[in-house]
Structure 1
Amino acid sequence: MRIKMISVAVLALALTTTSCVSKKVYKDLENKYADLKKENRDMADQNAALTKEKNELDLKAKDLESKLAKTTEDRDKNATELAATKKSLDALKASYAALEKDSNSALESNMKKNRELLAQLEAKEKALAAEQERLLKLKTELQERSARVDELEGKMNAQQASMAALKDKLSKALNSFQGKGLTVEHKNGKVYVSMENKLLFGSGSWTVGTDGRKAVEEVAKVLADNPDISVLIEGHTDNVPYSGNAQISDNWDLSTKRATAIVNIIRENKNVDPKNLTAAGRGEFAPIAPNDTAEGKSKNRRIEIILTPKLDELNKLLNEI
């Protein structure tokens, strides 16, 4: 481009200094000069544009160099961080491997403990189920037993009422003998008819007198109406040794014969079941009063008729409880 500018200058100089060239040559040169001048302007414009572009490219290059430096710095920083991260990762991997090893060991230990606990739990569940079954069985048995207790109480109450009614019936039947050494009591679930010997026997005798026989016959009538009553006839004496009939060895023998005499009178009533009757002699060994007075001895010389409800059904219920 510089050569072209020099050529234009030379040509211009030639045109101004040369006066001996022809018009045609001059014209051609003048045209060339104009073309060259125009081309020179174009080239100058191009040069300016290129200079501007170069400046812009320089600025972009500087910017790129700055970015490159920043990128390089970031790369180095990232590389450093990557190395540190990799180192941390390796440490974490090693730690994880150790932890995994320990965890596997702990897991296996825990699994073993869990199996043991599960086995214990299963055993306890089985024991609990067995206990629940036992409790259910006990509950059922308790309910059944409670029902039997209620039934037993009902029967006992009925028997008590029945014995109270029997006592009232005997008291009415024997009312005419009250005050003659005869008493009727209801206690301990039984009815006691106590007759002193002065109503029944003479001294040392086991033969029943008229009033005594009537009293015993009244008792027999009541017993005939109550076939479910067990009857115990006990003979009692005072403590004075027996010294009468040679057929009697002692007071015990006498008390037994007197009890048997009462049984025989009761048996005369054919509606009384003999299987319900029992005779027993107690001698002087069950006194109800001191034997050191005549009154006390009189009370001790007695026949006791003890009426007891048959307890077979109650005993059966008791055994079932």
Structure 2
Amino acid sequence: MYKKIGSFFMVVMILSILAACSDGSAGGASSDDVIDIVWYPNESGNELKAARDEIGNVIEEETGKEVEHHLTTDYAIAIETIANDNAELAFMGAQGYIEANSKNDAVKPMVVPTGPSGTLEDAMYHSWLAVNVDDQTNYKNGDDFSLDTIEGKRFSFVSNSSTSGFVVPSSTIMENFSDKELTEEDLMEGGPLFEQVLFGGSHQGSAVNLLNGNADVAAFCDTCVENYVEVAEGEENTVGSVYKVKDNAEEPFNTVTGSEFTLMNVTPVLNAPFVANTNLLSDEEFETIQNLFSSEEIANNEAIFVPEDSDESGLFFKSGDERFVPVEDQWFNPIRELSATK
């Protein structure tokens, strides 16, 4: 009798321990008094700590809850973290949001940063295809850059879950080589089009793959590298413009300071959203944080929207009336439809 009772309590103890482990920090799940924000690799670097912390601070002040930052080294980890109910908030690209939402419809878009107009009309950044400046003539037909020239080259993408580092550029490339009837999978490996395919894991990593000689052509975006590079020749986000890595650039660009690259292709992309997991946030909490992000206080917070002429690193920059505005799921349909066509 005692043996049976002892076995029963042993089972109860084991189940309690397992339940505790599944809800603890090791699994990444947030407790009721903690809001966990998961960040892509692009925004997980030390140089952006102050910007992340300021966003956490204002959320803490508004909600009375502690904010914990979940930094990642892989797009898939960030997507799975928010989709698997292990984080309340995430800042991610349109494609990442679409993937997380398809896994868990409780993941909803909250806000996106606008363009200089302060509206969604110009809420966009840019996907680049870049080559080393000394090699640029190899990628031209006559005076103009041509995507035909990238065939047989070593190519670097960011991640196959990256909007501007894979979905948009791969669509552009497949359209250019439409006669080859390429698939998305064909572009993920060497053979069908490229000699070799690399994935940088972040936009910074893809750019460095180009600049350190591991790739001949690389896809990455303007906003993720703007803290490290400056225009050396031409206009921002213009084909043919030359960018130079700053002399004081932090990791991972500290090994390629002074290097220059040229833009051979530039494509506008919908801005990245902050998204929320509504399984973990109540309707009231969602609205509270959405209203906070959309407020004048945040729009004028120079630690969040860094003035364009500042030397400070930041997640978002202000050249006009940039701010956060609420956004609905349907706004991302152009990216969703782009992915569906592949």
TM-score class, shorter-chain normalisation, is under 0.3
Q: Choose 1 or 2 for highest CA Rg.
A: 1
Task: Specify which structure has the bigger relative contact order, considering alpha-carbon pairs within 8 angstroms and separated by 6 or more residues.
Answer: 2
Looking at secondary structure, tell me which structure has more helix per residue: 1
Name the TM-score, length of structure 2 as normaliser: 0.21
